[in-house]
Amino acid sequence: MNAARTRSRRGTTAALLTVPAAFLAVFFLYPVATIVVTGLAPEGHPELGVLGRVVTDPSVREVAWFTLWQALLSTAATLAVGLPGAYVLSRIDFRGRRLLQAGVTIPFVLPTVVVGSAFLALLGPRSPVNAALSALLGEAAPTLDLRRTVTAILVAHVFFNYAVVVRTVGGLWSLIDPRVEDAARVLGASRWRTFREVTLPLLRPAIASAAAIVFLFTFTSFGVILLLGGPGRATIEVEIHRATTQLLDLPLASTLALLQLVAVVASLLVYGRLQRRTTTQPLVGSATTLRAPRSRGERWFLRANLVLVAALLLAPLLVLVERSLSTGAGYALTNYRNLFSAERATVLAVPAGEAVRNSLVFGVAATAVAFVVGGLAATAATVSRGRAADLVDRALMVPLGTSAVTVGFGFLIALRHPPLDLRGSVLLVPVAQALIATPFVVRTLLPVLRSIDERLREAAAVLGATPARIWREVDLPIVGRAALVAAGFSFAIAVGEFGATVFLARANLPTMPTAIFRLLGRPGAANFGEAMAMSTLLMLVTAAAIVAIDRLRIGQVGRF
């Protein structure tokens, strides 16, 4: 490779990185730095005494330790449950596969307060499990009560993040040429050995990505901890929230935010090491990797996974649907009718249709922003493999592990003076959502982009194809699938994001989660029923959007 070409690569990388770097600087670094500085230097000069005071406080250390171990445990549990699911959904063809693939994403978008409430019903003394136990064993049956336990937290974290593993890992798994595995089997390797020595190394970048994302999400867990762990347990996120929104103790909040940041950066460094050894591999269109279950063992494996999905993911969702349909006198559509009736003419009442529309519009806008930012970053990282691209790539992950309160308050404090006066701007909502969605776009696209054999592109170039044509005919067919996965996921994240959005959403542009919260904030059976109906609607809208996106065809996917 000659020097001129290296130089032009550097130029391209720099150009590609401008937008992601600017996005991150303006909408993440600047707001977060502003609030941290406000907290640590209230009078303009730093008062760092608070740092030492907070870090040596035993209760803070306890919180930090709990945050770390529950996140590690949650990540391990999610991988253990999610990897088999990723295999089943990306490699085995069965009826209802597409629907299920969209369905597993639903938990991801639901507000924790709603799901938490469903989990309380399922894990409490009056759960179906206990009903079954007492029917079987009579009086002697033990009563399982998992409310306010770490187990409840873990189960809920797996519920919420299952889709991360299935979609991130499954996206790559569906493109790995099964003939590679077949070859190993023909050569006498056992199924397990084939998986360990052939499949696993190929999947490694995707698994590392999924693990990193799940870790960051559970590390900053908030609603699940409060609802299911009980008020006695707290993560750093919970403490930041309390210090900022209740105590107005900004020095404490800023110190905790820094602590969180240090932990997140450290975990990203570890992740970078895992990510480094990626291999170029033969990828194929996903249609060729799908096949019906071949053996009895495989059919049982499929069934076991479906049962698990039903128990873990479907049951809580069904509780919500059941609640949305139940009225004082049996099941009816009363809650839905009330939701759509135009009777309540108050300023903050949320017409259901409007909430759905707002959520969709914000979701599309955030997806677009995430795609531009994430797409450029992923491309830059593929082209250069240099330090700058890696840095931006990692930096884009940091918002996932940053407190939503820090970001939300940071936006409000930092972005209110010209030239960046965004007070009351609707822009803030999709931007905050895109901050969370962008890493998914990068994580989904990058492994696929990186594994495209450079020789394919070179061959096409030698044969006279223009760069545009190379992109259309070499990259797009392979990346198209991953791009759709990324789009569906970003959309889901945007629709469900409720951390920073809650501080930024406007009264007159309520989203579905906002509407659910407003309804849940008032007494009365009808309000609760309508909140459940709105949650069900949120599930349906998400599922429909993801099914629709999954059905799109980009390029010639599948006819490779």
Binders in 304-333 for other proteins, by CB under 8 A: 327-329
Task: Quote the least distance from Cβ 1 to other proteins, whole Å.
Answer: 11
Which of these, 366, 347, 321, lies nearest to 510 by C-alpha position?
A: 347
Q: Which one of the spans 9-17, 77-85, 298-306, 535-543 is the region binding other proteins (CB under 8 A)? A: 9-17
Which of these, 99, 103, 66, lies nearest to 237 by C-alpha position?
A: 66
Q: Exposure of 188 by Cβ count < 10 A (0-12 exposed, 13-18 middle, 19+ buried)?
A: exposed
Task: Quote the least distance from Cβ 458 to other proteins, whole Å.
Answer: 8
To the nearest 10°, report the CA torsion of 522, 523, 524, 525: 80
Cβ-based neighbour number of residue 239 at 10 Å: 24
- Contact with other proteins (CB under 8 A) among 129, 274, 372, 547: 372
Q: Exposure of 274 by Cβ count < 10 A (0-12 exposed, 13-18 middle, 19+ buried)?
A: middle
Q: What angle do CA 211, 214, 220 make, to 5 degrees?
A: 135
- Contact with other proteins (CB under 8 A) among 306, 461, 547, 554: 461
Residues numbered 152-211 forming contacts with other proteins, rule: CB under 8 A: none
Task: Quote the least distance from Cβ 505 to other proteins, whole Å.
Answer: 8
CA distance linking residue 448 with residue 136, whole number of Å: 50
Task: Quote the least distance from Cβ 383 to other proteins, whole Å.
Answer: 5
- Contact with other proteins (CB under 8 A) among 475, 497, 537, 549: 475
CA distance linking residue 372 with residue 376, whole number of Å: 6
CA distance linking residue 384 with residue 398, whole number of Å: 21
Cβ-based neighbour number of residue 91 at 10 Å: 19
- Contact with other proteins (CB under 8 A) among 412, 432, 435, 533: 412
Would strands 416-417 and 326-327 be described as parallel, antiparallel, or unpaired?
A: unpaired
Residues numbered 114-143 forming contacts with other proteins, rule: CB under 8 A: 116-117, 120-121, 125-126
Tell me whether the omega of the peptide bond preceding residue 201 falls within 30 degrees of 0, making it cis: no
Residues numbered 495-554 forming contacts with other proteins, rule: CB under 8 A: 502-503, 506-509, 517-518, 520-528
For 190, the 3-state DSSP assignment is: coil
Q: What is the contact mask toward other proteins in residues 77 to 116, using x (rule: CB under 8 A)?
A: ------------------------------------x--x
- Contact with other proteins (CB under 8 A) among 3, 136, 347, 462: 347
CA distance linking residue 178 with residue 288, whole number of Å: 9
By CB under 8 A, is residue 7 in contact with other proteins? no
How far from 335 is each of 84, 345, 351, CA to CA, in Å? 38, 17, 13
DSSP 313: I
Question: Given the complex with other proteins, which of 25 and 307 has the nearer CB atom?
Answer: 25
Question: Given the complex with other proteins, which of 24 and 259 has the nearer CB atom?
Answer: 24
Q: Which one of the spans 41-49, 89-97, 357-365, 389-397 is the region binding other proteins (CB under 8 A)? A: 357-365
Two tokens at 227? 């609802």
Residues numbered 414-443 forming contacts with other proteins, rule: CB under 8 A: 416-430
Residue type, 219: F
Q: Which one of the spans 15-23, 47-55, 294-302, 307-315 is the region binding other proteins (CB under 8 A)? A: 15-23
Question: Given the complex with other proteins, which of 5 and 45 has the nearer CB atom?
Answer: 5
Question: Given the complex with other proteins, which of 174 and 438 has the nearer CB atom?
Answer: 438
By CB under 8 A, is residue 295 in contact with other proteins? no
Q: Which one of the spans 78-86, 176-184, 200-208, 407-415 is the region binding other proteins (CB under 8 A)? A: 407-415
Radius of gyration of the chain from its Cα atoms, rounded to whole angstroms: 24
Q: Exposure of 96 by Cβ count < 10 A (0-12 exposed, 13-18 middle, 19+ buried)?
A: exposed
Q: Which one of the spans 79-87, 153-161, 167-175, 406-414 is the region binding other proteins (CB under 8 A)? A: 406-414
Cβ-based neighbour number of residue 360 at 10 Å: 17
Q: Which one of the spans 201-209, 223-231, 294-302, 541-549 is the region binding other proteins (CB under 8 A)? A: 223-231
Question: Given the complex with other proteins, which of 5 and 273 has the nearer CB atom?
Answer: 5
With contact defined as beta carbons under 8 Å apart, do 475 and 456 qualify?
Answer: no
Q: What is the 3-state secondary structure (H, E, C) of 407-433?
A: HHHHHHHHCEECCEECCCCCCHHHHHH
Question: Given the complex with other proteins, which of 128 and 231 has the nearer CB atom?
Answer: 231
How far from 73 is each of 68, 154, 265, 389, 548, CA to CA, in Å? 9, 8, 19, 31, 34
Question: Given the complex with other proteins, which of 92 and 500 has the nearer CB atom?
Answer: 500
- Contact with other proteins (CB under 8 A) among 146, 302, 309, 376: 376
Task: Quote the least distance from Cβ 343 to other proteins, whole Å.
Answer: 11
Residues numbered 380-399 forming contacts with other proteins, rule: CB under 8 A: 383
Two tokens at 533? 């109906």
- Contact with other proteins (CB under 8 A) among 90, 235, 358, 359: 358
Residues numbered 22-81 forming contacts with other proteins, rule: CB under 8 A: 22-23, 26, 38, 59
Question: Given the complex with other proteins, which of 163 and 407 has the nearer CB atom?
Answer: 407
Question: Given the complex with other proteins, which of 124 and 293 has the nearer CB atom?
Answer: 124
With contact defined as beta carbons under 8 Å apart, do 441 and 19 qualify?
Answer: no
Task: Quote the least distance from Cβ 84 to other proteins, whole Å.
Answer: 32
Question: Given the complex with other proteins, which of 543 and 549 has the nearer CB atom?
Answer: 549
CA distance linking residue 222 with residue 112, whole number of Å: 9
Would strands 330-331 and 416-417 be described as parallel, antiparallel, or unpaired?
A: unpaired
Q: Which one of the spans 79-87, 168-176, 222-230, 304-312 is the region binding other proteins (CB under 8 A)? A: 222-230
